Chain A
Amino acid sequence: MTVPGTLLPPRGRWRRRPRVPGPSWRVKLRRDRSLLLMTVPALALVVAFNYLPMFGTVTAFQYYDYITGFLASPWAGLDNFSTLFADPTFWRAFENTLVLSLVQLVLYFPVPIALALLLNSVLSTKVRATIQAITYLPHFFGWVVVVTLFQEMLGGAGVLNHTLRQQGLSPWNIMANPDTFKYLVTAQAVWKEAGWGIIVFLAAIAAIDPSLYESAAVDGASRWGRMWHITLPGMRGVIVLLLVLRLGNALSIGFEQFLIQRYAVGSSSAEVLDTYAYYYGVVGNNYGLGAAAGLFKGVVSLVLILGANKLAHLFGEDGLYRSER
């Protein structure tokens, strides 16, 4: 059903070959035993820390007690969910999550594409490589560092407000303003990740056949015309793929980023589903409720990613996966 290992799927060129009877499974098992042995450590870790927690989701249906563990905790049925859905804080967190990821989608997503187009127009490979090396760098900084840097630049005692005060203007403390928080976190995401994001788009541009540009230019297409009719269509597959991935992850936006800034702007605008689960679950010792919030998020994410993928198919792109024809 899915295409294993394919992140950028081949476009509609599936070939079915007549199946040649290979060696029997016993022979293959014996032949490949060392290959299988190699996968054991990774699989063990994935089972322990990815699959077990999936089953651990049963805590969403329990009055979970830290001491007795989830094998012995009493069952709660759907109690956690009715508590959850009756909690206005939860809906607030859900709304914040949706709004924040929508703002990020609109304001963040085009930036790496624009940067890639801009960089691609630089002829000197040396200049290009240097700029790329610099713009990739923030991707490797942790959120603590990024938020601190923003605090020192834009915060109440930061460089920006110091300059404003020196000029006799009124200070503008964006770091502690709940109303503009969504733009602030988007700016942080752009600063940290946009440079890194161009790497995929540059590759897509590099894969475009250069003779297309030449023929278009001979036919009288201008610089912008070539960008619009050749470069952008050439990037379309990658753009759609990343959009699908982004939509699927719409509910998992920058958890650490919000946790760090939750105190500064207040929980009413910085609470997202993940921080809600953390505060009510781990901090508030209400594990069942936190797990219920997590499960809710997982289900909505699944619907989102399936829907986005369907949408990609409607646009004639492969999207994330495609059923085998």
Chain B
Amino acid sequence: MTADVRAAGAPAPARPDPARGTRRSRRREQRPAWEEPPTVVGETAKGISLTVVVLLVLFPLYTVLVTSLSTQGAVNRAGGLVVVPDGLTLQAYRYMFSGGTVTRSIVVGLGVTLVGTVISLAVSVLCAYGLSRKGSFGHRTLLLTLLVTMFFNGGIIPTFVVVASLFHGYGQYWALILPSAVSVFNILIMRAFYLGTAADLIDAARLDGAGDWRILWSVVLPTSRAVTAVMGLFYGVGYWNNWFNVLLFMPADNEKWPVQYVLYQYVSQGASIPGVGTNMTGAAVAATQVSKLSLQMAMLVVTLIPVLVVYPFVQRHFVKGMLTGAIKG
């Protein structure tokens, strides 16, 4: 990013990239010579507080998982969530998938998430790149148009009115996707990443005669996999966890509910799952040796699985993808 391409009045060149400091972080492994030696009390306090923090996150997940795998006897003996495993079984999962409702809601949830993420990523990548070339026609006005929406919005009611009544989106799958397809914040992060990463590569490609589409596809995208992965996770998690749009736009249509909304209805609100619902209470449950609590927890685990599967692959990109964008601006 040389000085003459930068528009007048643009922010001063960014500070050194903190996330790239591999040399520094390797040095951090060792205690610097000038630092006083660690005290026993200090290290113990640090260790205890960090352990507590980690346990606060992991313990609830652990008990939920164990309970979902427990036999009815174990749940009864524990009188609630099972902490110490005591008779494990996959019955709750088998039973949950038998009804069809949960299976369908998972398919719907995954479908909305996949389609939504693809749309969101495509739209955001294009827009972020389109606004990332300094001095291009109208990029300041367009950026401002996007920025305004970060601080002003119509609110719930006007959004509902526009989607449901103006565009006839009530009960339509697209109403779960399109209204939240663009996150201006994510676009800004991607744009900041594109601004910095490949400036000289882009110049070289342009000299070789590549147009903007070609540059985006063969230069920018391959060099910014980290930010694409992180943004994909953000969008994907957003769609997967979204139940409020369902509450707004298709609360009556239980055939179309994605899995988060089924979880909301069945676990949070305590309603019974349609389809499974008839078998869900009393004698039938007793006959299958599955406690209602195990079923609820199995439902919860199922909604967590996609997040937990994707998370480790994307997690190592967080710092690179998030911070370079946020700090560089």
Q: Which residues of A contact B (CB under 8 A)?
A: 2-10, 13-19, 22, 25, 28-29, 31-32, 34-39, 41-43, 45-46, 48-57, 59, 64, 66, 69-70, 115, 118-119, 121-125, 131, 133-138, 140-145, 147-149, 151-153, 157-159, 162, 191, 195, 199-200, 203, 206-207, 210, 213-214, 217-218, 222-223, 248, 255-256, 259-260, 263, 274, 277-278, 281-282, 287, 290-291, 294-295, 297-298, 302, 305, 324
Q: Is B244 an interface residue (CB 8 A)?
A: yes
| Most A C-beta atoms less than 10 A away, residue of B152, B154, B319 | B154
Q: Is the CB of A54 within 8 A of B154?
A: yes
Q: Is B136 an interface residue (CB 8 A)?
A: yes
Q: Find B267's partner among A9, A124, A141, A144 (CB 8 Å cutoff).
A: A144
Q: Is B97 an interface residue (CB 8 A)?
A: no
Q: Is the CB of B127 within 8 A of A8?
A: no
Q: Is B329 an interface residue (CB 8 A)?
A: yes
Q: Is the CB of A274 within 8 A of B57?
A: no
Q: Is the CB of A223 within 8 A of B36?
A: yes
The A-contacting residues of B in range 125-178, CB under 8 angstroms, are 126-127, 129-131, 133, 135-140, 142-147, 149, 151-163, 165-167, 178
Q: Give the interface segment out of B14-22, B88-96, B272-280, B283-291.
A: B14-22
Q: Is B298 an interface residue (CB 8 A)?
A: no
Residues of B close to A287: CB separation below 8 A: 157, 160-161
Q: Find B311's partner among A6, A14, A64, A137 (CB 8 Å cutoff).
A: A137
Q: Which residues of B contact A (CB under 8 A)?
A: 8-9, 11-12, 14-16, 18-19, 21, 24-26, 28-32, 34-36, 42, 46, 49-50, 53-54, 56-58, 60-61, 63-64, 78-81, 83, 122-124, 126-127, 129-131, 133, 135-140, 142-147, 149, 151-163, 165-167, 178-182, 184, 187-188, 191-192, 195, 211-213, 216, 233, 237, 240-244, 247-248, 260, 263-264, 267-269, 296-297, 300, 303-304, 307, 311-312, 315, 318-319, 322-323, 326-327, 329
Majority secondary structure of chain B interface residues (helix, strand, loop or mixed): helix
Separation of A287 and B237 alpha carbons in the complex (Å): 30
Separation of A225 and B270 alpha carbons in the complex (Å): 53
Q: Is the CB of B137 within 8 A of A4?
A: no
Q: Find B63's partner among A7, A152, A157 (CB 8 Å cutoff).
A: A152
Q: Find A42's partner among B58, B187, B269, B304 (CB 8 Å cutoff).
A: B187
Residues of A close to B178: CB separation below 8 A: 45, 48-49
Residues of A close to B130: CB separation below 8 A: 35-39
Q: Is the CB of A158 within 8 A of B81?
A: yes
Separation of A42 and B180 alpha carbons in the complex (Å): 11
Separation of A217 and B32 alpha carbons in the complex (Å): 11
Chain A, Cβ-Cβ closest to B31: A123
Q: Is the CB of A59 within 8 A of B158?
A: yes
Top 4 closest pairs, chain A to chain B, by CB? A53-B154, A294-B155, A142-B241, A56-B158
Q: Is the CB of B131 within 8 A of A2?
A: no
Q: Is the CB of A32 within 8 A of B133?
A: yes
Known: A29-B137, A43-B145. A122 touches B268 (CB 8 A): no
Known: A134-B58, A259-B244. A49 touches B24 (CB 8 A): no
Separation of A4 and B263 alpha carbons in the complex (Å): 40
Known: A125-B25, A217-B34. A141 touches B156 (CB 8 A): no
Having A57-B154, A152-B63, A278-B156, one finds 17 other A-B pairs with CB under 8 Å, namely A3-B11, A14-B12, A17-B8, A25-B137, A34-B212, A42-B146, A53-B162, A70-B166, A140-B311, A142-B241, A151-B268, A153-B81, A162-B78, A203-B319, A259-B247, A291-B155, A294-B156
